[in-house]
Amino acid sequence: MALTTRSLTATKKTTSKMSTTTAKKAAALRTKKAAEAAPSKLKPAAAGSKIARSARSLKSEKSPVKSALTVEVPLRNIKTSVSPKRPAKADKAEKADKPEKATRRRPPSIIPSELAEAMMGDMGMAGEDSALVREAARSQRERDVLGRLAVSVGRYDEMPNLELAADIVFADDTDAVSVLICVIERHDDLLGSDAARVIAEVGTRAPDLLLAHSDRLVEMIDVSRAEMLPYTMMALSPVASRYAEQLWPSRDLFWAALADLNQTADLAQGGAVRLLAAMCAASPDYARTLAGGLVDLLGKCMPKDVAFFAESVLPALGPAHSHRAKPVLDRRLKELTPAEVARLRRAQRAAQLGTPLAA
């Protein structure tokens, strides 16, 4: 019995080995035939499926449990390497579901009119600030200049005015001249007299400084501004010869200022004599009309004013009319003090040498 059992067991083992070998050969033969029968170019998915089937058939004989696991691995690899195309509608749906990427948008463009308005607004504010600064600086400048006038410092002599005029000429300060002319333009009776004297002194020493603003003074020679006419005439007198044509129609205003000679010459009379003398010297035609009246002034004015008028009249008469003034002055010498005589002699010598009215 024991022999029979062992022989049967050996027979079964041999039979199973033979069947296994036979199955392997059959599977290999089927795989070879399938490879030969398949087209040369296969799609990756088809090739993968055939490889998977052959692997499954080979491994199923050994271990059924492991064959399932072994089949999944190559199929998964093949699916990941080659992905089938998706329908267009599905792609659109996915795109619609996905949130859009945040794109960097440009700020909305400003309308040109608004931009211009904003710029002009800024410029307007800057312009207002600069205007306020300029106005403050000008106000301070005006206080500095006018604060040096004789009346401002409580003086009754001309020394403060002469010092201010000298400083203006030395610094070539046309802005200070403009400030002084503004005093006359705004009808300032308190400062007008001293301002006119400083302007006249500046014009005598440096006519170019006054010529830069003299047009403003010429415009103020008008009967409607009679209250400021004395200051205007005195301020304009150093350069009046250059405006003789413009001043000629107003000569009656100047003669009117000299109508009353029974009192000491004031600022108005001094300015009027200078303007008339300047026009007389500007043209021989004007001299023929004005020379006689100027000589009469020397004979009718107060004794203390003879030398003062002579300083303006004698240089304007020139060689053509100076002989008419000599007998009048000789007659009045006995009425003058020694100081006034000396001043008159200096005026006569200056007229003989031809010293101009405005240097």
Each residue of 225-250: pLDDT tens digit? 888 999 999 999 999 999 999 999 99
Does residue 137 carry a pLDDT above 80? no
Place of tokens 């990427």: 101
DSSP annotation of 155 reads -
Q: Tell me the pLDDT tens digit for each residue of 175-204.
A: 999 999 999 999 998 999 999 999 999 999
* pTM strictly above 0.85: no
Give the structural domain span for 275. Answer: 251-359
Do the beta carbons of residue 206 and residue 214 sit within 8 Å?
no
Q: In whole angstroms, give the CA distance from residue 16 to residue 4.
A: 18
- Higher pLDDT pick, 147 / 354: 147
pLDDT of residue 12: 52
pLDDT at 150: 93
What angle (nearest 5°) sits at the alpha carbon of residue 174, between those of residues 172 and 177? 120
Predicted local confidence at residue 140, as pLDDT: 86
Q: Which pLDDT does position 77 carry in this prediction?
A: 46
pLDDT score for 94: 52
Task: Round the average pLDDT of the chain to a whole number and report it.
Answer: 77
State the total domains in the chain. Answer: 1
Question: Does 34 have pLDDT greater than 80?
Answer: no
pLDDT > 70: percent of the chain: 63
CA distance 223 to 44: 117
What is the pLDDT averaged over residues 310-317? 92
User: Can you give the pLDDT at residue 1?
Assistant: 46
| Residue 303 resides in a domain | yes
- 10 inside domain: no
Decide if 193 is inside a domain. Answer: no
Between helix 306-321 and helix 267-282 the angle, nearest 10°, is 10
Residue 336 inside a domain? The answer is yes
Residue 95 has pLDDT above 80, yes or no: no
pLDDT for 350 equals: 86
The answer to whether residue 34 is domain-embedded is no
Is residue 4 a part of any domain in this protein?
Answer: no
Q: In the predicted model, is pLDDT for residue 79 greater than 50?
A: no
Beta strand residue intervals within 155-212, DSSP E: none
Give the least confident one: 117-126, 134-143, 230-239.
Answer: 117-126
Give the Cα separation of 65 and 21 in Å (integer).
21
DSSP 9-60: HHHHHHHHHHHHHHHHHHHHHHHHHHHHHS-SS--HHHHHHHHHHHHHHHHH
Name the one residue in this structure whose structure tokens are 């022989």: 7
The more confident residue out of 127 and 92 is: 127
